[in-house]
């Protein structure tokens, strides 16, 4: 079992994106403080869910409960070229590069990881594996649309980054 801080330290993006770093990025783009606060509320909740799934993935590598990770991008998302490339791709949890390929890949990244049991994996028709020779971009930002989105208008509504908004294939 990993602590929250250990998981943050293992994730290539999240270890670099503190709340203060995110706030400064928004300020540099002239975002309204109310929008920044609303975004950070959503971001922290999504980060907690991501870390929970990430911990399950790392803790279950090679075990029976979960077998693989499927990356999906929501239908209404604004994916970057890399996210388009890994959409509906699978990576086995025992892959040593799992932390490198576990989304998100940048701030505002619409990619989500779904953990698959062996039965889930077997039910996929012709699963396509991730090309692990093509690493995710190392930029902090997936897309700058997040700086102009009116986050405060959506405070208290269904979260934009909510994994449940994405249906499984």
Q: Per-residue pLDDT tens for 130-160?
A: 999 999 987 888 877 788 888 888 766 555 4
Long-range CB contacts for residues 121-129, cutoff 8 Å, separation at least 24: 121/67, 121/68, 121/90, 124/70, 124/90, 124/169, 127/68, 127/90, 128/88, 128/89, 128/90, 129/89, 129/90, 129/91, 129/92
Q: Record the pTM.
A: 0.85
Confidence of residue 167 (pLDDT cuts 50, 70, 90): very low
Task: Please report, for the chain, the start and end positions of each structural domain, with discontinuous segments joined by +.
Answer: 4-130
């Amino acid at each position: 079992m990993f602590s929250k801080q250990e998981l943050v330290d293992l994730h290539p993006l999240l270890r670099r994106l503190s709340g203060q770093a995110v706030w400064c990025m928004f300020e540099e783009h002239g975002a309204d403080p109310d929008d920044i606060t609303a975004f950070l509320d959503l971001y922290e909740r999504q980060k907690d869910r991501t870390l929970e799934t990430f911990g399950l993935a790392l803790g279950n590598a090679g075990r029976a409960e979960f077998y693989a990770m499927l990356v999906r991008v929501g239908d209404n998302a604004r994916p970057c070229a890399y996210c388009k490339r890994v959409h509906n791709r699978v990576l086995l949890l025992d892959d040593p590069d799992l932390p490198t390929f576990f989304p998100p890949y940048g701030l505002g990244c619409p990619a989500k990881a779904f953990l698959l049991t062996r039965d889930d994996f077997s039910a996929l028709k012709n699963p396509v594996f991730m090309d692990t020779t093509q690493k995710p971009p190392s930029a902090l930002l997936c897309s700058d649309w997040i700086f102009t989105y009116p986050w405060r208008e959506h405070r208290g509504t269904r979260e934009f980054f909510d994994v449940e908004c994405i249906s499984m294939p």
